[in-house]
Structure 1
Amino acid sequence: MDNSEKIIGSKGLIKKHELIRIIVQCLYSLGYKKSAICLETESCIYDKSPEFESLESHILNARWNECIDSIDKINGLTHETRASALFLVLEQCLLEFLNSRHISLALDVLREKVAVLPIEKEDVRKLSYSLLSVKELEFSCMDHDVVHGLRNRLISQLEKMLPPPIILPERRLEYLVEMAICAQIDGCLYHSSSDMISLYRDHFCNRDQFPTETIQILTDHRDEVWFVQFSNNGEYLASSSSDWTAIIWKVQDHNEVTQKHVLNGHKSPISYVAWSPDDTMLLTCGNMEVVKLWDVETGICKHTFGGDSFMVSSCAWFPDSKSIFCGSSDPKKGIYEWDCDGKEIRSWKGMRMPKILDLGVTPDGENLISIFSDKEIRIWNVSTSAESAKHGSTSLERVISEEHCITSLSISGDGKFLIVNLNSQEIHMWDVAGKWSEPLQYKGHMQQNYVIRSCFGGLNSMFIASGSEDAKVYIWNRRFPTPIEVLSGHGKTVNCVSWNPKRPQMLASASDDHTLRIWGPSRQSRQKRESFSE
């Protein structure tokens, strides 16, 4: 059995000569030219196929008829690829004839070779125009170095055009290794580490570094806790309650959470908070309530938005931290954008808009996403709808219809995906760009009667966490429809969860039992980590 037939590997899937060839290519690309030549000599297997080496030699020596013959003899090319390759060669040939003032030869190439190719007539016209131009205009000749450079460019173009095994795809071994690493990551249920993955062993993350145990219980609220959210920098936590207060918490370096400010001033329960992108300000609001803007450092209310004529149900920040979007629970009011001083920038109203339940803005500021009481998710391109909004109309990018009532919305950290909780005891994930016709679905938690909120979390937002009416926290890997973890500890419905965006091992949950729970790795894994650091 020669090298071209020998199969290696425990699974019997690898052709030995193909593996050697991509190793040779890899050695060249890494700069180990002597080693590559040595391996080629020993194995008689070369980076470039004999067909391409012959073609390359003909190009460098301007043997154009031989180039055409070489391309014609290559087996397995589609008609389109063969025609495109021949066109590139003839284009270079024509250019060099023109450069050397062989106008009659150039005309022959154009009439006899190019004109019969199955290519776009526009391409033929352009070549014809170049011939006319050189006859009518002053043409400056190219020197040898320029011509040589153009020939090398032609070779590079053909390398990208011709298929294997004539030419190998660029950096093939690196690509295959990266694909193998990605496959291991995709199969890793608890992958949440940004550390570089070693090639020396198979990749696997166990649950030791995953938030599975309660590490702290916060009892400062006097009534049901309805909302919780970490700041964008992961250094703070905000919670709101039916006791009419919100609390700003500080996340210490050793992961302990301590109270920073209690925010008083609302006259009814607070059901929503939103951090400014720069984490210097916090918005709070509730059903049939105003919006208050707080200074995070001082805990002082800087502005109150809305009033008796405009009661806000949800709010979100524009990425520059200079303006906010507020949605009203009154269908007549719609959505407003205000600056931080309360000046109206634009609004969407007077459109028979259903009751707004939740809204959010993608991190790039391109899309405003809202959920409505009519079971619809509506996505606006905010940057293009500004002018229409001034005139009381909107230009919707996309409308997603659900079969069941939607209670909450969350957007992934990269702004590419959104999740909604439904009272059918499902969470649906949609892509914001609109490429999916059906959502990914996640089940296992309980939700029939109350507003339950979920969130993305972990490395690259690869996990979804949700509260539940059975007093538990459910966690899914985005690739799988069933939970990978169910966290117990709360005594009543878990209303909301938030994953620390900078500390992927930290999760917070808010419950009707008046408490917040901070979740982290198990005590045993924490002790292991502490012993390693000593």
Structure 2
Amino acid sequence: MERSQTVEQLMQETGCSLEHPSATKFRNHVTEGDWEKAEADLTELKSLVHLPQAIVRMKFLLLEQKYLEFLDDGKVLEALQVLRFELTPLKYNTDRIHALSGYLMCRDAEDLRAKAEWEGKGSLSRTKLLDKLHTYLPPSVMLPPRRLQTLLRQAVELQRDRCLYHNTKADTNLDSVSLLMDHACSSLRYPSADTWLQLRGADRSQHCPRGPSRHVFHSFQKRTVSLAQRRHT
């Protein structure tokens, strides 16, 4: 079962909707590359968007992807139609329009992707397009991308912040931790001995608390005439 179908079934069984139905439909149409239907979905989303110019900007992004995909398929005439009769009449971001028109001169799809810094027709470029479109929609309307991963990372960071014996750099990579149990560092990793190194006649001394891994935690300077002192806890 595909992920989208799994999410839909889960929402039906729990009665909990993660996003507005119009947003779900819009997401599916963008993912499938059905640009006419995706553009029509914007009409339904218009009342849910706070910024007046958001719909125009979202439409521009959709048509830009549509234009690039036509060029990627070698359909120059269709791409030109999109540029002239759909993108240009929006009267938005004319600098970008000029840049897009230059891509008509690309030799092939590879040249297009290099000059446009674009991944090409497919799921990767459409996913990035969705990330851009998300910025114009409130989280209550469309679920932000990778929201579950964000929540899990925040949970791990909170556990590490509350860990009494945590003394290493926090790693927020979820692949390196287990979500089956709460994070807790062993007290054996905490420094168990203080070492003072002081040289006669020197202007520097070092205070070096060391743990089992012999990591030095901090040092300071002090004028002293003592030879050496070691204190264990």
TM-score band (shorter)? 0.5 to 0.7
Please tell me whether the aligned partners of residues 507 and 519 of structure 1 are also in contact (alpha carbons under 8 angstroms). no
Q: d(CA) in 2 for partners of 1:173 and 1:152?
A: 20
2:199 pairs, out of 238, 241, 244, with 241
Residue 516 of structure 1: aligned partner: 229
2:181 pairs, out of 195, 200, 206, with 200
- Cα distance per residue 1:51-104 (max 9 Å; x no partner): 24322444466653432232343222546654443223212333455657573x
User: In 2 relative to 1, CA 500–67 (structure 1 residues): closer, same or farther, beyond 3 Å?
Assistant: same
Residue 498 of structure 1: aligned partner: 208
Q: d(CA) in 1 for partners of 2:179 and 2:31?
A: 42
Residue 112 of structure 2: aligned partner: none
Q: Secondary structure at the match of 2:144?
A: coil
Residue 157 of structure 1: aligned partner: 128
Q: Secondary structure at the match of 2:101?
A: helix
Q: Does 1:71 align with 2:71?
A: no
Stretches of 4+ moved more than 6 A in 1?
505-511
Residue 330 of structure 1: aligned partner: none
Please tell me whether the aligned partners of residues 500 and 507 of structure 1 are also in contact (alpha carbons under 8 angstroms). no
Q: Which blocks of at least 5 consecutive residues in structure 2 are unaligned? A: 110-119, 170-175
Q: Secondary structure at the match of 1:517?
A: strand
Residue 420 of structure 1: aligned partner: none
Q: Does 1:171 align with 2:146?
A: yes
Please tell me whether the aligned partners of residues 498 and 508 of structure 1 are also in contact (alpha carbons under 8 angstroms). yes
Please tell me whether the aligned partners of residues 497 and 507 of structure 1 are also in contact (alpha carbons under 8 angstroms). yes
2:13 pairs, out of 23, 26, 42, with 42
Please tell me whether the aligned partners of residues 193 and 210 of structure 2 are also in contact (alpha carbons under 8 angstroms). no
Q: Does 1:93 align with 2:93?
A: no
User: In 2 relative to 1, CA 271–166 (structure 1 residues): closer, same or farther, beyond 3 Å?
Assistant: same
Within a 5 Å distance, the mapping from 1:368-383 to structure 2 comes to none
User: In 2 relative to 1, CA 506–52 (structure 1 residues): closer, same or farther, beyond 3 Å?
Assistant: closer
User: In 2 relative to 1, CA 117–512 (structure 1 residues): closer, same or farther, beyond 3 Å?
Assistant: farther
Please tell me whether the aligned partners of residues 35 and 66 of structure 2 are also in contact (alpha carbons under 8 angstroms). yes
User: In 2 relative to 1, CA 102–45 (structure 1 residues): closer, same or farther, beyond 3 Å?
Assistant: farther
Please tell me whether the aligned partners of residues 35 and 62 of structure 2 are also in contact (alpha carbons under 8 angstroms). yes
Following superposition, the deviation at residue 34 of structure 1 comes to 8.5
Please tell me whether the aligned partners of residues 199 and 225 of structure 2 are also in contact (alpha carbons under 8 angstroms). no
Letter in 2 for 1:129: G
Please tell me whether the aligned partners of residues 60 and 87 of structure 2 are also in contact (alpha carbons under 8 angstroms). yes
Higher relative contact order (CA 8 A, sep 6+): 2
Return the TM-score normalized by structure 2. 0.59
Q: d(CA) in 1 for partners of 2:5 and 2:44?
A: 32
Q: d(CA) in 2 for partners of 1:101 and 1:201?
A: 55
Please tell me whether the aligned partners of residues 508 and 518 of structure 1 are also in contact (alpha carbons under 8 angstroms). no
More strand by share: 1
More helix by share: 2
Residue 116 of structure 2: aligned partner: none
Q: d(CA) in 2 for partners of 1:35 and 1:73?
A: 25
Letter in 2 for 1:177: L
Q: Secondary structure at the match of 1:150?
A: coil
Q: d(CA) in 1 for partners of 2:24 and 2:167?
A: 46
Which has the greater radius of gyration? 1
Please tell me whether the aligned partners of residues 92 and 151 of structure 1 are also in contact (alpha carbons under 8 angstroms). no
User: In 2 relative to 1, CA 517–78 (structure 1 residues): closer, same or farther, beyond 3 Å?
Assistant: farther
- Cα distance per residue 1:509-532 (max 9 Å; x no partner): 997554322445xxxxxxxxxxxx
User: In 2 relative to 1, CA 76–36 (structure 1 residues): closer, same or farther, beyond 3 Å?
Assistant: closer
User: In 2 relative to 1, CA 513–183 (structure 1 residues): closer, same or farther, beyond 3 Å?
Assistant: same
Letter in 1 for 2:157: C
The aligned length equals 207
Please tell me whether the aligned partners of residues 20 and 141 of structure 2 are also in contact (alpha carbons under 8 angstroms). yes
Letter in 1 for 2:37: E
User: In 2 relative to 1, CA 171–153 (structure 1 residues): closer, same or farther, beyond 3 Å?
Assistant: closer
User: In 2 relative to 1, CA 186–128 (structure 1 residues): closer, same or farther, beyond 3 Å?
Assistant: same
Q: d(CA) in 1 for partners of 2:199 and 2:157?
A: 42
Letter in 2 for 1:172: R
Letter in 2 for 1:200: M
Q: CA RMSD in A?
A: 4.7
Please tell me whether the aligned partners of residues 188 and 205 of structure 1 are also in contact (alpha carbons under 8 angstroms). no
User: In 2 relative to 1, CA 47–181 (structure 1 residues): closer, same or farther, beyond 3 Å?
Assistant: same
Q: Secondary structure at the match of 2:206?
A: strand
Please tell me whether the aligned partners of residues 198 and 206 of structure 2 are also in contact (alpha carbons under 8 angstroms). no
Q: Secondary structure at the match of 2:214?
A: coil
Q: d(CA) in 1 for partners of 2:76 and 2:94?
A: 24
User: In 2 relative to 1, CA 496–116 (structure 1 residues): closer, same or farther, beyond 3 Å?
Assistant: same
Letter in 2 for 1:94: Y
Q: Secondary structure at the match of 2:121?
A: helix
Q: d(CA) in 1 for partners of 2:25 and 2:145?
A: 20
Q: d(CA) in 1 for partners of 2:124 and 2:178?
A: 37
Return the TM-score normalized by structure 1. 0.31
- Cα distance per residue 1:316-351 (max 9 Å; x no partner): xxxxxxxxxxxxxxxxxxxxxxxxxxxxxxxxxxxx
Q: d(CA) in 2 for partners of 1:61 and 1:174?
A: 24
Residue 125 of structure 1: aligned partner: 98
